[in-house]
Structure 1
Amino acid sequence: MKPVIKYIVRWGAYPIIFGGCALALLAATSNHLPYWPLVPLISGLGMACVALLEHLQPYEPAWLSDHGDTGVDILHALVSLTLIFLTAESASFLVQFLPVASLWPTRWPTWAQVLLAGAIIDFGLWSMHRASHSNVRLWKLHAIHHSAERLYWLNGERRHPLSALVLGAPGITVAVFAGAPPEIIGCWLAIVAVHLAFQHANVDYSVGILRQVLCVAEIHRWHHKRDYEDAQVNFGEFWLIWDHLFGTFHHERQGVRAGEVGLRDETAPMSYLGQLAWPWRT
């Protein structure tokens, strides 16, 4: 590959693709364009670009091959993304019956409202993610996410549906009760869906010094280390602010490579239904 293309992919992949999708989603929300099918299509396009980049410039060539996990990861992604994109619809329905506060700064620009909702939701995700590593019952649900023995774009959605609800419900509930409009919440979650593809991507890319605040792949790979003691770091879903504040941030120059991710003492079933039942069998 020509050096100039490698340079563009390495330094431009995240700002161009993620940034472009985020701007498009913010524009759609600001202009009150139909959520369906526009918002899922924008996120889907961003994730598809990440998948293509993996074959153009992989971080770890060994992770390109199917480990017997592609089919089940597709099913996980379909379920998880459906939950994500139905959240705005669910919130729209629930606010009709809930005592929602009038605290939300509805006069703020859309981008500021989305960032505020994102901060609330992200802290909830960080808190429940960390709890999922310390609580035995929650870990049984969350372990499926860590059972992957390679990291690639689909891993971001490899979650037990109950684990997804445990992780996301607290922060989303607080945002809803604070009066965040459903379309604002939906916009943030659509942005995060693209980010999660990058967070687990098998792409040789970097965001430079921004890796101190954004939980991108070079940071998140440490969280998937097979050595469990080394994986109790970098719980952030999007921001790393919470990891810095609570002392769980970790980064080293040498990256995590093939053979170093997955579960050390357990082996998850390879089928989707087997993985759904697995937390109650272990």
Structure 2
Amino acid sequence: MKTFNTRITTIVSWTAYPAVITLGLVLHQLLLNTPYPSKIMTYVPVILGAAIITFLESYFPYRKEWTPQISDVGNDLTFMVFIQIVLPKLLSFLFASTLLSYLKAKGIILKGFWAHQFPAFVQVIIMLLLADLLRYWLHRLSHEWGPLWSLHAVHHSPHKLYWVNVGRFHPLDKGLQFLFDALPFIIVGVSEKVLSIYFVFYALNGFFQHCNINLKLGFLNYLISGPELHRWHHSILIRESNKNYGNNLIVWDLLFGTWLLPKERAVDGLGLKNRKYPLDFASQIRTPFIKGLDKLEG
């Protein structure tokens, strides 16, 4: 029985990521051909992926001690709803719609700046590369410049990783991310189909980045910013957490020398040096404006 369980764990470790990502993208394409609203259908593969990842975390954990408490999940779900769902919709309305209306009124057309002539999957790859390049430098600056770090520290505050805390961001930090990896592509007229494919991959890959599943990505660790790499980014040590900035892809880290994946050891502690940093939603909205709560040197 032990040998059988070991084999199942090995199979899950190597196949779960590509299987769920592929399932999500294929299901999304099938749902786009139904008469139902495409925006709603985009969430179906994301929700299904979240359910599968939740199941896998329960039965194939990377570390059992990373299993969240009910209070942890409650705070993370609050972040997920308000920061990852409500806030982007609000920002799209306030910034994207307003800016597009202004540009239209001025007769400024920017659609020629995008590769509309290519197939959707090629456009998604282009968007992934460009969006990740912009996010790479925002993310890196958010670690290296104090004022931005005070916002981004909220995301690094958890002491364990599991998929639900992928959404733990301060609203100002999330707003900056929107300006870098969403707004530019909306302005140049990237189609709703391309944006939705990007969103499905963005969401599912983000869930996996933070998941507490014993996964092995092999050669994909030189292409995708997955969980094996992202755990080091959440290390309590600055020399380790200032690595692997990639949002979806890891290619820019390879190019700019910030890729890290030690083979001889596993990541140790996670989070901030200041273990008194508050973890509840209400307090973390205020923490960026309180001095002395950021990560210490290590």
- Rounded Cα–Cα distance in structure 2 between residues aligned with 1:32 and 1:6: 39
Per-residue CA distance 1:173-201 (angstroms, 9 max, x = gap): 33233332244223312321111110011
Once residues 133 and 167 of structure 1 are traced to their aligned partners in structure 2, the CA distance between those partners, rounded to angstroms, is 14
**How many percent identity over aligned positions?**
27
Mapped partners of 1:168, 1:26: distance in 2:
25
Q: After superposing the two structures, state which structure 1 stretch, 165-174 or 131-140, moved more.
A: 165-174
Aligned positions of 1:92-103 closer than 5 A? 94-98=99-103, 99-101=108-110, 102-103=112-113
- The answer to whether 1:152 aligns with 2:162 is yes
The answer on 1:81 being equivalent to 2:89 is: no
Quick one: which amino acid aligns to residue 174 of structure 1? P
SS of equivalent residue, structure 2 residue 225: coil
Q: 1:222-237 alignment to 2 at 5 Å?
A: 222-237=232-247
Letter of the 2:159 partner, please give it.
E
Counterpart position of 1:280: 289
Letter in 1 for 2:245: F
Please give the secondary structure, in 2, of the residue aligned with 1:237. Answer: coil
User: Aligned partners of 2:88, 2:148: CA distance in 1, in Å?
Assistant: 24
Higher Cα Rg, which structure: 2
Q: Residue 254 of structure 2 corresponds to which residue in structure 1?
A: 244
Shift of 1:166: 1.1
**Letter matched to residue 25 of structure 1:** H
Partner of 1:262: 271
- Structure 2 residue 171 is the aligned partner of structure 1 residue 161: yes
Gaps of 5+ in 2: 292-298
Q: Secondary structure, in 3 states, of the residue corresponding to 1:69?
A: helix
> What amino acid is the match of 2:168?
R
In the alignment, which residue of structure 1 is the partner of 2:17? 14
Q: 1:41 aligns with which of 38, 41, 44?
A: 44
Determine the C-alpha separation between the residues in 2 that align with 1:93 and 1:183: 22
Moved more, 202-211 or 109-118: 109-118
Stretch of structure 1 that moved more, 47-56 or 116-125? 116-125
Q: Distance in 2 between matches of 1:196 and 1:84?
A: 17
Structure-1 separation of matches of 2:91 and 2:273: 37
Pairwise CA distance, 1:80: 2.9
- Name the counterpart of 2:224: 214
Which stretch of structure 1 is more off in the superposition, 51-60 or 181-190?
181-190
Q: Is the 8 Å Cα contact of residues 110 and 184 (structure 1) preserved in structure 2?
A: yes
Measure, in 2, the Cα distance between the counterparts of 1:84 and 1:181.
21
Given candidates 60, 71, 75, the residue that maps to 1:72 is 75
Cα offset for 1:109? Answer: 1.4
Q: Name which of 52, 63, 66 aligns with 1:63.
A: 66
Is there any run of 5+ residues in structure 1 with no aligned partner, and where?
Answer: none
Summarize deviations over 1:53-100 as a string: whole Å, max 9, x none: 001100001111418422111111112331586389645675344334
Letter in 2 for 1:208: G
Deviates more, 1:59-68 or 1:245-254: 59-68
Partner Cα separation in structure 2 for residue 21 and residue 210 of structure 1: 18
How far apart, CA to CA, are the structure 2 residues paired with 1:137 and 1:155?
23
Task: Give the aligned residue type for 2:220.
Answer: L
Q: Does 1:204 align with 2:214?
A: yes
Distance of 1:32 and 1:103 partners within structure 2: 31
The structure-2 alpha-carbon separation of the partners of 1:110 and 1:31, relative to structure 1 and needing over 3 Å to count, comes to farther
Once residues 30 and 128 of structure 1 are traced to their aligned partners in structure 2, the CA distance between those partners, rounded to angstroms, is 36
The 8 Å contact of residues 24 and 200 in structure 2, kept in 1 or not, is answered as no
- 8 Å CA contact retained: 1:50, 1:201: yes
Q: Where does residue 294 of structure 2 map in the other structure? A: none
Q: Which residue does the alignment assign to 2:190?
A: 180
One-letter code aligned to 2:19 = I
Structure 1 residue 19: deviation in Å?
A: 1.8
Deviation of 1:167 (Å): 2.1
